[in-house]
Amino acid sequence: MWKKHIIKDAVGGWMLLTGCLAAGIILNEMRAKPLPLAYASPEARLDQAVERLGEGKPVPVRQTGDVSLEEMQAISAGRSALILDARPEVFYRVGHIPSALSLPRDDFENSYHVLASVLEPRRSDVLVVYCSGSDCHDSQMVADALQRLGYAHVRLFRAGWGAWEDGNLPQEKS
């Protein structure tokens, strides 16, 4: 007798679970921007964003070397290159290198659209990308994405925000 109740409860639970899953998938698909059903790494998400943007043609990568802290100071002071901050927007707002624009890796596609009027005319100019520091790979991923979109002169300030802040250098906040 008790086996009958266990089977009945298990079947009921299974039907409830299946119904909830189906409802969740249907509601997700009805969203303007559905959540992905499978995990994609940050690199894969950035690759997908670059493919969707696909506005430029990849150019041969120019190995122009990394930017040192001293060179970054001169670039920022003289505004001789476009500086892009690849950190998440919240960190950019707390503090960033003067004249830097926010192009976060985690929201690359939307931020690129916002900056398109500034970026696209400067495809042949020098762009310098930075993130938190030498352990952060967001700047490299953003630099690679920009090169795939046709930006020919992308350099990295690998020491990043950590070195800038440690040097007590000027900051801007948004």
Residue 154 has pLDDT above 60, yes or no: yes
Q: Say if 107 falls within a structural domain.
A: yes
pLDDT of residue 33: 82
CATH number, position 98 = 3.40.250.10
As a whole number of angstroms, the distance between CA 7 and CA 121 comes to 67
Angle at 81 between CA 171 and CA 168, to 5 degrees: 20
Label each residue of the chain as H, E or C. Answer: CHHHHHHHHHHHHHHHHHHHHHHHHHHHHHCCCCCCCCCCCHHHHHHHHHHHHCCCCCCCCCCCCCCCHHHHHHHHHHCCCEEEECCCHHHHHHCECCCCEECCHHHHHHHHHHHHHHHHHHCCCEEEEECCCCCCCHHHHHHHHHHHCCCCEEEEECCHHHHHHHCCCCCECC
On whether both 5 and 46 belong to a single domain, the answer is no
On whether both 46 and 83 belong to a single domain, the answer is yes
Q: Say if 82 falls within a structural domain.
A: yes
Q: Which range has the worst mean pLDDT, 27-31, 62-66, 97-101?
A: 62-66
Angle at 114 between CA 111 and CA 118, to 5 degrees: 110
On whether both 22 and 91 belong to a single domain, the answer is no
What's the whole-model pTM score? 0.78
Q: Is 65 exposed, middle or buried (0-12, 13-18, 19+ CB in 10 A)?
A: exposed
Residue 63 has pLDDT above 70, yes or no: no
The two structure tokens encoding residue 16 = 């409830």
The two structure tokens encoding residue 72 = 């970054």
**Domain total for the chain?**
2
On whether both 140 and 153 belong to a single domain, the answer is yes
pLDDT per residue as tens digits for the range 8-60: 888 888 999 999 999 988 998 998 888 888 888 888 988 888 888 875 455 55
On whether both 3 and 16 belong to a single domain, the answer is yes
Q: Which domain holds residue 17?
A: 1-38
On whether both 85 and 1 belong to a single domain, the answer is no
The two structure tokens encoding residue 145 = 């994405």
Q: What backbone phi and psi angles, to 5 degrees, belong to 156? A: -120, 135
Q: Say if 174 falls within a structural domain.
A: no
Q: Say if 171 falls within a structural domain.
A: no
Q: Say if 109 falls within a structural domain.
A: yes
pLDDT band at 2 (very low <50, low <70, confident <90, very high): low
Percent of the chain with pLDDT over 70: 93
Q: What backbone phi and psi angles, to 5 degrees, belong to 150? A: 105, 10
On whether both 59 and 97 belong to a single domain, the answer is yes
pLDDT of residue 114: 96
pLDDT of residue 4: 74
Percent of the chain with pLDDT over 90: 62
On whether both 22 and 87 belong to a single domain, the answer is no
On whether both 100 and 162 belong to a single domain, the answer is yes
Mean pLDDT of 76-93: 96
Residue 7 has pLDDT above 90, yes or no: no
